[in-house]
Structure formats: structure tokens, C-alpha cells
Amino acid sequence: MLIAPSILNANNLDLKKDIKEATAAGITRFHIDIMDGHFVPNLSFGPQMVSDFKREFPTTEAEIHLMSDKPDVLVPAFVKAGADLVEIHYEAMSEEKVNHWLDYLIANNVKAGLVLNPDTPVSVLNKFVSKLDQVLLMTVYPGFGGQKFIADSPKRIKKTRQLLTKAGKDIPIEVDGGVNGQTAMLAKDAGADVFVAGSYIFKNGNITEQVKKLTEILR
């Protein structure tokens, strides 16, 4: 089990301090939400955030959740910035482009992830499964932190696990959106391995305490 805190809802003017605190509490990967104001109705970070992150925290993984329909510009930019893992959205581009950018990530030794929105049938994964290092199932509609975990999600996680097992691919399933102590357990029981948590970690008072609590719950 891995917890990947999303820094979206951390205090953007205090990021270094917050990342340090979470790292000291045992976090080894951060989830960096990239929003382009077009594929999703919000704006967040750019490549410089990632290069600064990797300079300050070289041994901590930067996982890029790319919520953009401009992969041609942005995938190379985030690879260049030092991303350890890049997750592209199935809904954001043609299947040909999905294949192209997964191949690009593999060729550049960056872990490749595919993200599915809550309404996208998980069966689409069959077309790309051989190229994936991780699957990200959205458990909210992307765009904002602090939303409610969609109740139907555990069913989708189970289906995805079955599909991966059938394909002989033992890769992590990550969940993103509305993850807290209760929903993390539901997702874990359904077969999830990686848990993105934004507000739960950064908007509940004490970061160290929140990381410890979630770590304990997922043990």
C-alpha cells in the first residue's frame, strides 16, 4: 500500500514545509495535479513545479496526473522536468495518441499510467494494458480537491483488478478523489494499492498525524 498525497490542496505558499513534513512522516511519492483550464475547469501547476520539486527532493517520487488535452506540449515538458511517473487521461486524446504517449514514456524510462474518469468503462484498459505501469481510477470527477468519493467506485476497482489479473498484469491500481479513512478501506478491500489523498492530509490540521492515521488504517 502506498499513500501519494496530492499537493493541490496544500497551502501553495508553504509547499516546501508541507512536503518536508509529509516526507518525514514516511511519504515517498507525491501526486502532482496538472490542470489546464480546458480539459478540466481549473488551473494548477506547471513543469517548473516539478523541476523545483525534484531539485529539493531528489529521492522522492513525483507522480504527474496530467488533466490536459494538450499532451503533445505537456508530456515532453513534464518528462524533461524530471517526472518519475506520468498519468495521461484516456478521455483527453485519441486512442492513437494514448498509444503514442505511453510508448514515449516507456522509451524515456518514465513510468506510464492511464487515468479513467468515473464514467469511462474500465474495459478500455484492455487495449493498453501491456504498456502500463499503473492504472488510476478517478473516484471523483477531476478538477477540484475536496469532493466526495463516488459510491460506485469499489465496484470499478474490483472489475479493474479482475481485468488486470486476466491479462496477467500485476500492476498497482490507484484511486484519486475523496479518499479518507473510511473510503480508503473500501478501496483497499476492493483491490486498490495506491491512495491519493489531498484534503485528508493537508486540510485536517496536522499533516504528520493525518499521514500516520492513514498509514495505520491501510496497514
Catalytic residue numbers? 33, 176
Q: Which residues contact 27 (CB under 8 A, 6 or more apart)?
A: 3, 4, 5, 60, 211
Instruction: Annotate 11-35 with DSSP letters as a single string.
Output: -GGGHHHHHHHHHHTT--EEEEEEE
Residue 29 or 65: the one with the smaller Cβ distance to Zn ion is 65
The residue range among 69-77, 116-124, 151-159, 173-181 that interacts with Zn ion, by the rule CB under 5 A, is 173-181
29-35 and 2-5 beta bridge pairing: unpaired
Ordered DSSP codes for 159-191: HHHHHHHHTT----EEEESS--HHHHHHHHHHT
DSSP result, 35-97? EBSSSSS-B---HHHHHHHHHH-TTSEEEEEEE-S-HHHHHHHHHHTT-SEEEEEGGGS-HHH
* Residue 9 near which of Zn ion, ligand DX5, none (CB within 5-8 Å, type-dependent): ligand DX5
- Does residue 71 belong to the site contacting ligand DX5 (CB under 6 A)? no
Q: Are 187 and 154 in contact (CB under 8 A)?
A: yes
Using DSSP, state whether 210 is helix, strand or coil. helix
Could you identify the residue written with the cell 511517473? 85
* x/- map, 39-78, Zn ion, by CB under 5 A: --------------------------x-------------
Site string for ligand DX5, 139-178 (x = CB under 6 A): -x-xxxxxx----------------------------xxx
Which one of ligand DX5, Zn ion, none interacts with residue 179, CB within 5 to 8 A by kind? ligand DX5
Site for Zn ion contains 33 (CB under 5 A): yes
176 scored as a contact of Zn ion (CB under 5 A)? yes
**Near ligand DX5 by CB under 6 A, which window of 4-12, 20-28, 53-61, 99-107?**
4-12
**Contact status: 174 vs Zn ion (CB under 5 A):** no
Q: Which of Zn ion, ligand DX5, none lies near 198, with the C-beta cut-off 5 to 8 A by kind? A: ligand DX5
Q: Return residues touching ligand DX5 (CB under 6 A).
A: 6, 8-9, 31, 33, 65, 140, 142-147, 176-179, 196-200
